[in-house]
Structure formats: C-alpha cells, structure tokens
Amino acid sequence: MEPPRPGAAAATAAGAAERPWEEAKAFYDNLAPKKKPKSPKPENAITIAVSSRALFRMEEEQKIYNEQGVEAYVKYQLDHENEPFLPGAAFPFVKALEAVNTQLRELYPDSEELFDIVLMTNNHAQVGVRLINSINHYDLFIERFCMTGGNSPICYLKAYHTNLYLSSDAEKVSGAIEEGIAAATIFSPSKDLEVSENQLRVAFDGDAVLFSDESEQIVKAHGLDMFFEHEKTHENKPLAQGPLKGFLEALGKLQKKFYSKGLRMECPIRTYLVTARSAASSGARALKTLRSWGLETDEALFLAGAPKGPLLKKIRPHIFFDDQMFHVEGAKEMGTIAAHVPYGIAQKHKRMAQEKQTPNSK
C-alpha cells in the first residue's frame, strides 16, 4: 500500500475550508430534521380517518390482547416501542394520499384543500409512543391522533369532519355507516402487488357503494329479468346516493384543481367504476346518475357478472370498495387491497344466512 504523501492531510483540510458556503449549507441542511408542512384545518380538508390496525400490521399484538388481556398488551407495546410496526393494508393508500398532497402544495402553496390523515384508534395513550415512532420511521405526515383508551372512536369521527373511515374492525365500520359516515373494512391482499407511487387509484363498485341499493333490492326480490326491465324504465331517473358518493365527490374536487392547471392527463388521482352491471342493459342509468350529480369516474368498467379480481389486477388500485364480500375476496386473491362497505340489502341477506347456520342455544 502506498504511504500517504506528506502534507496530504493538510491539503484535505485546506480544501474543506475552501468549500463554497452553498455546499456547506446544503451539507448541514441534510443533517437537520426536515420541516413538515402545516396540517390543514379540518373544515377545509378531506379527512381520512384510519385505524392503527389498518395502517400497521398488529396481528401479534392483537393476539396478546385477546389471549392475555389489556395489561399484557400495553406492557408488550411499551417493551417494543422502539420497534416500528410493519406496514398494514391501508399503508399504500396513505402513502398515495401524501403523494397527491405534495403535488397540490406545489401548485397551490396557500390552499388547505388537501388530504388530512387522522389516526383513529381505541388504543391506550401509552401505546401512542410506538405508533408515533412507527409514523416517523416511515416518514408519514400524520399529525392528528385520536386514542380513546378502549372506548369506540366512532363518536369522534364527525368532530374530525371525517370524509372516509378505514378500519379492520367490521363492527366499528358498521357503526360509522349507521352514523352516515363513509366507511369500509379494509383487508390485506393474499399476495403483494406493486402499486403506483405517483398516482392515487381508487376503484368503486356501483350499487350500494356509490349508489343506493335500490337496484339490488329488485334483483333480490324479483330476479335479473325484472331488474333489467326496471333499469330500462328508470334509465333517466337518477339513483339515490350510496355511502361513498361523498368520497368520490371529494376526489373529484381535488382532480379539478389539477385540471384547471392544464394537468388532466397528468392528474395524480384516477378513479374507476367497476360494476357487475351490464353496459347495454343497465349501464346507462349508472352513468347518467353520476352525470346528474356533476361527477364522473375516469374509467367505467361494466363486467356483466364476470369476476372483478382479474381486471382489478390490471388496474392496481390502492383500494377497491365493494359491498359484496365475494367480490372483496376475489380481489384479495389477485393481490388487490379491498375494502368491504357494509351497506344495503346484501348485508341483510348475509345476516339471515348467518343466523340460519348458528345453532339454537336454548
């Protein structure tokens, strides 16, 4: 090995001393904590409330809670509070929301029309340190927390002006729907499927999700032939709104901010209608209903009863909403993050089937 030349260390030091001040400033700026933008006021923002078990994987912790109780659960969380949770089902969706916010802030620096993410959990406050550490570890911008110490967070959703609530707890989601809040139970897919990091993609079923369950009631009561006749007769009569119509409306409002800057084709939000309806026999009413609301989806896909999973695999949405669990299961199997919306006649039939299968306890 060649020995260092005499004076080499001194030359290095001299070079460092002569480094331009701009370079030195950039060097030290990189060492400093990144300044995060301000959170928008809740009344101006599109608020997405996400439960801790939707955002992060907490199966092991939940098992301890179920088997050993709350004290063991809290102790475990405290003992592991410097270990970040693994990303959960809602994590890619939240990252995509933040990517949209970044672009909105560049175009509209003073606007508060942004996504605002609230962590909504019934965890005890002591567990909050691990949640905060996990959020900072992944560099997520989540400033609002609601930790209710074992109580249901549902009563706080309206106070936060919630536009969408995602949870892994079906009972809490049903409670939110009953309160008139857009909500869904989110599920992890059976396999990982890469999704876009630059464009938020959201796919919606139509009936009992964007629209009311009026048409599904016809199918359940009278069959498909009567349904087709009913839709043809009422083609020009808009369907009533479903539980997630307001969320589509909020997405459309943000899309228009990009359109007004001439960025329709580069818009970082893309929406999809993915419905089992047939285009020829019942598609027109769905599209005319959206038009009557002043809304649209970027793509409308009428599958005429075909499975949704393969098509969703091509779309690769960050989240897909459906009121039928078999569509949710089909999407999960193909790698799509799917969310169940417990609304409408399908839920009544599901409960009746479960009651028939449950043996009489008397």
Whether residue 101 contacts residue 38, with contact meaning beta carbons closer than 8 Å, is answered with: no
Whether residue 227 contacts residue 219, with contact meaning beta carbons closer than 8 Å, is answered with: yes
Whether residue 274 contacts residue 204, with contact meaning beta carbons closer than 8 Å, is answered with: yes
φ, ψ of residue 235 to 5 degrees: the values are: -55, -35
User: Rounded CA gap, 292 and 284, in Å?
Assistant: 12
- DSSP summary character for residue 127: G
> Of these residues, 110, 139, 205, 213, which one is catalytic?
205
User: Using CA atoms in the order 197, 200, 203, 204, what is the torsion angle rounded to 10 degrees?
Assistant: 150
Cα torsion 224, 229, 231, 232: sign: positive
CA distance to 127, 143, 242, per residue, from 230 (Å): 53, 48, 19
- DSSP summary character for residue 40: P
207 is catalytic: no
Element (H, E) at 72: helix 70-79
Catalytic residues: 205
